[in-house]
Amino acid sequence: MALLYDPHAIVIPLKNVQRTVMNPSELEKQNRELKNELERLRSHQSQDEELLRFERLLSEISTQLIGCTQTDIQKPIELGLKLMADFLDVDQVVILEKSSASETKSRYGYRRDNHPFLFPQKLSNTFPYAKKMMDAGEVIVFTNLPHDIPPEAEIDRASCIKYGFKAVLGVPLKVGDAVMGSVICYSFSQPRTWSEGLVQRLRLFGEMVANSINRHRAEVKLQELNKQLQAENLYLKEEIGLKQSHPDIVGKSRAIIRVLKLVEQVAETDSTVLITGETGTGKELVAHAVHRLSKRKNRAMVILNCAALPPNLVESELFGHEKGAFTGALSRRIGRFETAHGSTIFLDEIDSLSLEMQAKLLRVLQQGTFERLGGASSMKVDVRVIAATNKNLAEEISKGSFREDLFYRLNVFPITVPPLRKRPEDIPLLVREFVKTISRQMGRKIDTIPQKSMEMLKRQPWPGNVRELQNVIERAIIISSTSTLSVPRLVSSPGDSKEVLTLDDVQRRHIIDVLENTGWRLSGSDGAAKLLDINPKTLESRMKKLGVHRPNKAPQ
């Protein structure tokens, strides 16, 4: 007779089995003991097999998380949540992340009935008892809700009834000692029980997910920082390539000293500054001075001339755009405000913004938030705004072309830069500085400035202000054949005549003189606008206002 060997058979030792015949009651008692022992051993074996299957599941999920790119972890995490829901036979698994000291958010979740996963808003109000456990990094186990909720958690009890929770199992999301949130498993259909071994292994799942989310956050933050640094680096390279007029404000007049004192007063604050003044007075230099003395000086100041861009590109330039936001938007672009995060942005000719863009700028000033063009999520930035204009904004408001609420937001600390005609004592200082700087750049040696030329320069009205003076000196250096500066008679001097002229008359004569010297060419590198250092359209507008037209051409 062959003996059969069953490797899976459970061997139960029979203790104190007597050879004598037992009475029925004793036999029944012993049979019950044997049956209970058999069920206990089978239960242990079943739990061991369950834990083994769970560990295999963890291994599979770990492989998925490790193999994914850190920029796309949503799919492997949600797959892991689905596998957990199926294994634990629960209806929903949600990851709750701490978004602030008091609240949580949920970006990842799975629900077996394909409905949107249920996430109670404001846990501090709906589940304060469970929220306290979650914040402490404790395991949350309720197997028969709402009956096993402690008496001190009445709010949680009411919320469980409201949402229909029958059982909840939660394990912490932890990286080291830091608690990031919890993985919460919900049963809506019936109570559930989980073994201690299963709960402990579920904690491993929480740690795996926490590490993946933490790596993802670090990667995203690193990418954002890298993009910002790249944008700033590109911006700095562009700035270095631009011809700088002069890095400092030159002058000793009372008018310019007053400006410098205002700069010192406001520089260390984060207050918005509105710089006003005529074209060419040096408003950008004042903005640089404010930034250079501020706590943001270690970051480059971002500059945008609002009038230099077509209206349809202003929003993209200021706030950036997402890929596909418009035709030709082949990739995401970071805007000037995002580039200026932690620094200062200088918006020149702010009056040229459309009313629609003024409204969006107002929101940035009020809330510090904006959306990229084509984007759905709000971006928050820490940017100090300095704006400048050569217009009278009060008049623009009365015309309806500038928002009054935006004006008050910008006009927190106004600085008015005086025109050059109101600081004639600064002209010799400026002339010497320009001669020194420009002659060095050109490789020329100019060591003498005739007094007659200096007096003539001091008498000019300079409607183009400091920039116009700089252009005149540059041209003088070019035509000087010796080391003595030869200033051409580019403009007629009001001092040559005893006739008293109005400012409009002076500007009209000056513009005509410059136009005659350029052959009435308005734009281009040799045009009058370039020499006066103003926009060609601005020159056309001023000519129309002053009644200036070419002698052989009738006015329009």
Tell me if residue 276 falls in helix, strand or coil. Answer: strand
Q: Is 491 exposed, middle or buried (0-12, 13-18, 19+ CB in 10 A)?
A: buried
Tell whether 155 and 214 lie within a shared domain.
yes
Residue 235 above 50 pLDDT? yes
| Per-residue confidence band for 241, with pLDDT thresholds at 50, 70 and 90 | very low
Residue 404 above 90 pLDDT? yes
On whether residue 27 sits in a domain, the answer given is no
Total domain count for the chain? Answer: 4
Q: Beta 140-142 vs 178-187: how paired, if at all? A: unpaired
Contact 318, 274 (CB under 8 A): no
Tell whether 214 and 303 lie within a shared domain.
no
Q: What percent of the chain has pLDDT over 90?
A: 33
Residue 369 above 70 pLDDT? yes
pLDDT value for 538: 87
On whether residue 114 sits in a domain, the answer given is yes
On whether residue 45 sits in a domain, the answer given is no
On whether residue 39 sits in a domain, the answer given is no
On whether residue 189 sits in a domain, the answer given is yes
123 vs 182: CA distance, rounded Å: 12
Tell whether 207 and 317 lie within a shared domain.
no
Contact 255, 417 (CB under 8 A): no
Tell whether 267 and 409 lie within a shared domain.
yes
- Average pLDDT in the chain: 82
Tell whether 265 and 350 lie within a shared domain.
yes
Alpha-carbon radius of gyration of the chain: 39
Tell whether 437 and 516 lie within a shared domain.
no
pLDDT value for 406: 95
Tell whether 82 and 203 lie within a shared domain.
yes
Q: What percent of the chain has pLDDT over 70?
A: 81
Tell whether 145 and 277 lie within a shared domain.
no
The enclosing domain of 425 has a CATH number of 1.10.8.60
Tell whether 508 and 461 lie within a shared domain.
no
> Which residues are registered as beta bridge partners of 187?
167
Tell whether 365 and 474 lie within a shared domain.
no
Q: Which pTM value belongs to this model? A: 0.56
Report which residue type is found at 236. L
On whether residue 7 sits in a domain, the answer given is no
Domain extent at residue 441: 421-479
Tell whether 527 and 438 lie within a shared domain.
no
Least-confidence region, from 174-178, 347-351, 406-410 = 174-178
On whether residue 136 sits in a domain, the answer given is yes
522 vs 171: CA distance, rounded Å: 74
Tell whether 387 and 365 lie within a shared domain.
yes
Least-confidence region, from 158-172, 311-325, 363-377 = 311-325
Contact 46, 74 (CB under 8 A): no
pLDDT, average across residues 201-210:
84
Residue 330 above 80 pLDDT? no
Q: Which of 293, 274, 428, 286 is nearest to 365 (CA)?
A: 274
